[in-house]
Amino acid sequence: MREIIIYLISAFVISLIAAPFVIRILRRLKAGQEILHYVDFHSQKSGTPTMGGFIFILPMILLAPIFLRSNTPFALVIVVSSLGFALLGFLDDFIKVKTKKNLGLRAYQKIIGQGGIALLVAIFYFLVNQEGRILIPFVNIYFDIGWFIIPLVFLAIVATTNSVNLTDGIDGLAGSVTIAYLVFFMVISLFISTAGNILELQQMHWISAITIGGLMTFLMFNTNKAKVFMGDTGSLYLGSLVATLSIFSFMSFFIIILGVMYVISSLSVIIQVAYFKKTKGKRVFLMTPFHHHLEKKGYAEAKIVSIYVIVTVIVGLGLVASFL
């Protein structure tokens, strides 16, 4: 617990020192976010600096080398793969800023990038977990699925990164939900054996603490009205981090439960698109992802963030209770 607090505070301080400089640099580079034309109620946010994810990524870059070791490959892969997704997100953000359009990497380029990293992680995970062991939520029974763990891990990483990216649609939302997710991840993982390696579990907790500390600072500049957006740089990083932390703790299926608000973001889009095509123009939601539907219904951004966090906390408490 002592190390967790130290890493959390260290990350908070590093981010707090870095944030004004990051925001100033982004403004000088004119790295403003272009708002999509159909999200007209966010038009006043156009020009807000993006790529602010660097504020909470920087502490990981500086602190992870302190504890990462070759004998803790899980933690190493978690950090490296998440930074890989951050780089992919940065390229997407950079193109958007450069072209002054909210259109970055092409869809196939994103899929190749995300899929490539996810496949490498999935293959590595199979090599160290060939029985394909996973834990089933609530009943808390381990189940071995063998090589099927490869497509499961691949899907979990790609789906989670894109779901977190979709959740990052209003001020403070993705960051707040992710903090709640990581807090409960740390609590739940205490009940779970991580390949018998207590050091791996400790390092996963340190990674979570560093991310929480960085996000706490970031939210000081990102809650309504935001001075900076995390951009795809930050959202893809967080998505990968959430996914890989859960996967390497045998908690792949927990992403669906504890990350229910991420899931709702993706499902709302999928349902909307499918229904729109089937009915030739009709909609289920006023707008997707789901948080935009709530905005259209008159909910303030702060209230939507509260709803998403409260739901995550309630689900998290339910998962913790299942171990007691």
- Quick: pLDDT tens for 146-177: 999 999 999 999 999 999 999 998 999 999 99
For residues 270-274, average pLDDT: 95
Is the pLDDT score of 264 beyond 70?
Answer: yes
| 197 located within any domain | yes
State the pLDDT at residue 40: 58
For residues 185-194, average pLDDT: 84
Burial 65-94 (b: 16+ CB within 10 A, else e): eebbeeebbbbbbbbbbbbbbbebbbbbbb
Alpha carbon 38 to its chain centroid, in Å, reads 25
| 147 located within any domain | yes
- Distances in Å between the alpha carbon of 186 and those of 6, 81, 141, 158, 197? 15, 20, 19, 22, 15
- Quick: pLDDT tens for 91-117: 999 988 888 776 778 888 899 999 999
| 269 located within any domain | no
Q: Minimal CA–CA distance to 273: which of 256, 285, 291?
A: 285
195 confidence band (pLDDT: 50, 70, 90): very low
171: containing domain: 2-253
Share of the chain above pLDDT 70, in %: 94
| 209 located within any domain | yes
| 283 located within any domain | no
* Overall number of domains in the chain: 1
| 278 located within any domain | no
| 42 located within any domain | yes
32 confidence band (pLDDT: 50, 70, 90): low
Is the pLDDT score of 31 beyond 70?
Answer: yes
- Quick: pLDDT tens for 293-324: 999 999 999 999 999 999 999 999 999 999 98
State the pLDDT at residue 197: 66
- Quick: pLDDT tens for 243-258: 999 999 999 999 999 9
CB 26 within 8 A of CB 50: yes
pTM (2 decimals)? 0.93
CB 151 within 8 A of CB 118: no
Tokens of 59: 């502490």
| 81 located within any domain | yes
